[in-house]
Amino acid sequence: MLQNNIEMDLKMRVIEGSTTQTELAEKLGVSIAYVNRITKGREHIVNKTFVRIMDELGYDIELTYVKKNE
């Protein structure tokens, strides 16, 4: 089972970084619509099959975010 709400985590990191979805999309080379779908949870970053496989093997998935020292 996936322990994180990745979409919410991403949305919060965008807000904390004072970055707009437009700026993020441009930096990543993807469309603004794609970034929007991810932050709204309509597009899944983590593959459902991967989550099912790890669950079947007896693992929970937890992601940790660590701010880079720039």
DSSP the chain: -B-S-HHHHHHHHHHHTT--HHHHHHHHTS-HHHHHHHHTTSS-SS-HHHHHHHHHTT--B---------
The per-residue pLDDT for range 24-63, each reduced to its tens digit, is: 899 989 999 988 888 887 777 777 788 888 888 888 888 8
| Residue 45: per-residue pLDDT | 75
Q: Flag whether the pTM goes above 0.75.
A: no
Give all domains of the chain, ordered by start, each with its CATH number. 6-56 (1.10.260)
| Residue 57: per-residue pLDDT | 85
CA distance 51 to 28: 25
